[in-house]
A and B are shown apart, each in its own frame.
Chain A
């Protein structure tokens, strides 16, 4: 049976004023909050657990369990911090969501804050997306005005302030502890764990850090029930998620579907490959997840199936590359990204990405020898699992997987003394120029 789309968070993105409170309220908006405020806090945590919702930021940690890790209230503040620092190459789900329907997030923040006993929540937004920042600020303003935020929300006696904070544009600040450091006004570098944020997070207080999409999924789950949510998806990856198709597809965009859908199905929905070309490789969850190829078209896109096939579901950022793309060049450019974004705290990531980039750059230009491939793999072996946080791990994924699937293409670069591909052929403007 073919999987069908499940537009929930994306349901009214096509509305001309989709981001307003009015539109949101016309689509069941803030009903879940009303329901939540009448419930026991622990019942909300149980609901999140029962739904099987796993973190949508990439790691897939059960959201309800994360909430339950908070120590019992001690009278001091507890914080909810929403990780909206979406920066991974290919990942583009949170930013469109906050752009098109920010109230999902804000209602989710209100419900989650109530559930965990937080009176001040923070949304840490990637700094470059000023338009989203404005829209979030406006949505927060609307929510305050409507009594969904602020003092005595909906007459319940529950107070909540929401601060939207724009970061300064660092990929590392998507790492939750680096995000907390940055939010506190320090340089964004990951912290040692333990203590985990649940025990000592923001300002050393118990803190829940959740992804935008995880929090935005809470209102629909609450409204329609954990069972409704759990009925979607697969046994271990329940519910729906936004799949972002980009690259060489006919109709790139966000496709909200149950977890477990395959790329083959998604490609069909997206009108197939651009210009009928052949799929060469793709990322299941952003540039940090090992590449897949055509042979993985029917892998169910859920946490476990993707992991079993040697990659990670990540953020469901499906970057599609057709046969015109040079994999060495693509990986070289991703590696450049990691070198640029490595925070510098730990040796393997800091020095390793510096080195990987130099070797990848050389290979793309046909300089080097086959030993460089072994060297690359060994450097990756010395980074993966040795770096302080997952940034370094992510940097190795494209390198190791590209050599795994396309070793011959690397060697072809060396034989030809340069890149065998026509760069323009893979570019988007190739199509546009043709249609003029």
Chain B
């Protein structure tokens, strides 16, 4: 990382006076940000609903217009996120349209819509759009509409089992509620109900009770329209119509949980939650998802100290009403039975023994004191925890050797983050979800949206469906996610992305009026990738955004958990920046060394230059080939809540709180703060509190005892307004040339894989996509393997054996899922972009 701050701040307009790191979105700055595109004037339509005048944009559905004035029309199939269907007919209202204009040119008296003539024909308010002068009468003012709604409700219930007392949905069921508000008190149905065996699995995690289903098609429309996974469809007809799955296409959608949430009855239930609780016994806590950088607003529901389910919360700016299955269902890992509840200290015999907090803190302090320390925070911590690590490193350990990146990374990336990403936010003109939706073109590089940030994927799909946004991806092959975005692939072998970004094809993909380039963290594996992306953005005027995979990375960047940066994006080597931070922290000065990045820290620990490590939630497999040696050699203090490959080496393990038991803030890829509360009240401590105790033990007052204290300090410190680091100018390096039998390794994480946060949720794991190696037909022929054959991929450290899927992709490349069942790329001992050998055969 080049650590010279830019000479003149005037060269570049000073950006973002306030950082998300301060606990709030960056504030608008006149002239600094791109002005939001002026919205074209909207034609408004005047009408009355139940006699109340209302003015809504042309094209608004009656049911939405009614909501504007607080009139709720009952509905089942209607959902604002889905295309109108008009199937359930529950939302029938009486409508009168203005008559033809009289001689004076004014519209005639409103005439009731009828059919057959003489009989009021109620209209479905979920499919009919407003018209000028329309007079709508809902169930509140029209006996006819009320009668129609009662009739539909009675019909909906004739084949419904009315098993509310044993139904998961009972208590929060739109059918139950609306049967009370808009139904007859007593059913006249005394004949035979349609029955089915119940429930049946439509996937390992979603169960279908066909008796309860009202056939509103919300689930099938969601899967088809929103997720692009039309793996469920209505089959059969009449009253025997039902949601069906395909024989050879399992319902393995990453978004299937949303169908359970939007089901207006208890027809779709989650396997993990079925029969576990009643809604009215649950305590709900709003929060943010900890799994990726999308930043979904979620709700955590617990009963008597056990988290039972999580739901998506409607946040129009971020996740709208959706989340992914990982965010919804992967919350069981803290409860699989191996929680570290008490501190552990390694005894003389080398065994970890339970210790009291004072003992453990004393042992940790003793081990750290006087050593050359370094800090690895991991990418999953809250911004407040990251801040505490950052402050601890600088004021207690007196080092800049701190890095949140426990994955492939580069100094170019750090420079890119410091120059371009840190201390930007939605209110300061940074790229947002709304920008993606409004974009003409979006270019993805080093980033598989569906796998690595699924809500970004959903928004891109919405943009593609609604606004015809053209998505282009620079990748080795066109993934299913890209296909669902109607996207175009610019094929690129790992390592060649830099050259591709510089080529005309990339610029051509950004020829529209509003362009966005999304770079993933994986671009760090390509020399010159970030520099080329910056060049491209400058050349085409495109907005550029960085999308990390883990939820805590962006916040850790803002908090200064990166060797060259102090909180708020302050360059470590800038005297004024250091002075600001030192003043805020009440210390005389801060370390001025260059610091170390993750690989430097591991190399240092392995080589002896670093003698102690403070490690947050990190998997040793993410630390590279020398991890074992480094962890073995150094004194390791590990903060974790479950035994891991790091705690296995740790000298002291200090237990910390998992996500559900702590409060804090994430910062999503946009730079938007995503606060979360503790769903469960336990004695577990968040990392910042443990660090504060440890600092006390080391005789330093860290001042991070509470969230409020940290947030106050971060807010007071604010974002750095001075000169930033220069943007990287790294050039491409030579790409390895595969010899016969050798292939360049390509890889990324699938959304559902062996990640430890997904532990303890077998139903979710049941829909993970199976591990497959991918090679082109030319490459497959070169090794003599056919589609479906097991192949063995070997690197210096080991091999993996997986079935081959011959894929339309670049030649001389083999792609593997990074951490799926039966395929862990870290076992190979080579990073992406390097060479591995592939041979046919081997037992999978």
Contacts and interface: CB of A to CB of B under 8 A. Distances in A.
Given A355-B189, A382-B152, A385-B116, A342 B85 contact: no
In this complex, the member of B119, B151, B238 whose beta carbon has the largest number of chain A beta carbons within 10 angstroms is B238
Interface stretch (B86-94, B492-500, B522-530, B780-788): B86-94
A172 B136 CA distance: 31
Q: How large is the interface on A (under 10, 10 to 19, 20 to 34, 35 or more residues)?
A: 20 to 34
Given A382-B148, A385-B115, A343 B237 contact: yes
B151 A381 contact: yes
A354 interface: yes
A37 B690 CA distance: 89
Contacts of B90: 347
B240 A346 contact: no
Contacts of A187: 233-235
A396 B115 CA distance: 14
Interface string A346-381: 111011111100110010000000000001001101
A339 B115 CA distance: 22
A344 B236 contact: yes
Contacts of B237: 170, 172, 341-344
Contacts of A340: 238
B122 A347 contact: no
B238 A342 contact: yes
B744 to A, nearest CB: 41
A387 B89 contact: yes
A339 B194 CA distance: 13
Contact of B156 (A351, A362, A384): A351
Given A385-B115, A385-B122, A342 B239 contact: yes
B88 A346 contact: yes
A346 B234 contact: no
Contact of B87 (A347, A355, A359, A383): A347
A386 interface: yes
Interface in B102-141: 115-116, 119-122, 127
A199 to B, nearest CB: 14
Contacts of A358: 191-192
A382 B151 contact: yes
Nearest to A344: B241
B155 interface: yes
A388 interface: yes
Contacts of A170: 237
B159 A354 contact: yes
A350 B238 contact: yes
B84 interface: yes
B87 A348 contact: no
B466 interface: no
A398 to B, nearest CB: 15
Contacts of B119: 384-385
Interface string A331-343: 0000000011111
B194 A354 contact: yes
A348 B241 contact: no
A382 B184 CA distance: 13
- Where chain A touches its partner, the secondary structure class is helix
Interface in B434-461: none
Given A192-B85, A355-B189, A386-B122, A344 B239 contact: yes
A345 interface: yes
Interface in B73-101: 84-90, 92
A345 B191 CA distance: 22
A346 B192 contact: no
Nearest to A345: B87
Contact of A386 (B151, B188, B191): B151
Interface in A310-326: none
Nearest to A354: B239
A388 B87 contact: yes
Interface in B183-222: 188-189, 191-192, 194, 214-215
A355 B238 contact: no
A343 B156 contact: no
A346 B89 contact: yes
A375 B233 CA distance: 34
B238 A346 contact: no
B573 to A, nearest CB: 60
A388 B86 CA distance: 7
A386 B113 CA distance: 12
Given A192-B84, A350-B215, A388-B87, A344 B238 contact: yes
Nearest to B241: A344
A379 B116 CA distance: 16
Interface string B151-164: 11011101100000
Given A192-B86, A385-B121, A386-B152, A350 B239 contact: yes
B188 to A, nearest CB: 6
Interface in A370-416: 375, 378-379, 381-388
A352 to B, nearest CB: 6
A382 B154 contact: yes
A218 B236 CA distance: 38
A200 to B, nearest CB: 13
Contacts of A388: 86-87, 89
Interface string B480-504: 0000000000000000000000000
Nearest to B119: A385
Contact of A343 (B92, B122, B194, B238): B238
Contacts of B92: 386
A351 B84 CA distance: 21
Contacts of A342: 237-239
A172 B119 CA distance: 25
Contact of B88 (A339, A347, A353): A347
Contacts of A344: 215, 234, 236-241
B139 to A, nearest CB: 14
A362 B121 CA distance: 30
A86 B815 CA distance: 55
In this complex, the member of A192, A348, A385 whose beta carbon has the largest number of chain B beta carbons within 10 angstroms is A385
Nearest to A362: B191
Nearest to A191: B86
B91 to A, nearest CB: 11
B503 to A, nearest CB: 35
Interface in B226-245: 233-241
A349 B813 CA distance: 56
A375 B188 contact: yes
B238 A386 contact: no
A351 B89 contact: no
A387 B214 CA distance: 15
Given A355-B158, A385-B115, A341 B88 contact: no
Interface in A52-94: none
Contacts of B116: 384-385
B28 to A, nearest CB: 41
Given A355-B191, A385-B119, A388-B86, A347 B241 contact: no
Contact of B239 (A339, A375, A379, A387): A339
Contacts of A375: 188
A347 B189 contact: no
Nearest to A374: B188
Contact of A353 (B147, B194, B238): B238
In this complex, the member of A172, A350, A359, A388 whose beta carbon has the largest number of chain B beta carbons within 10 angstroms is A350
19 contacts: A187-B233, A342-B237, A344-B234, A344-B238, A344-B241, A350-B215, A350-B238, A350-B241, A351-B156, A351-B159, A353-B238, A354-B158, A354-B194, A355-B158, A355-B191, A359-B191, A384-B116, A384-B119, A385-B116
Interface of A: 170, 172, 187, 192, 339-348, 350-355, 358-359, 362, 375, 378-379, 381-388
Given A344-B240, A353-B239, 11 more contacts: A339-B239, A340-B238, A344-B236, A347-B155, A347-B214, A348-B89, A351-B159, A354-B159, A355-B191, A382-B154, A388-B87
Interface of B: 84-90, 92, 115-116, 119-122, 127, 147-148, 151-152, 154-156, 158-159, 188-189, 191-192, 194, 214-215, 233-241
Q: Which 5 pairs between the two chains have the least Cβ-Cβ distance? A: A382-B151, A344-B241, A358-B191, A351-B155, A342-B238
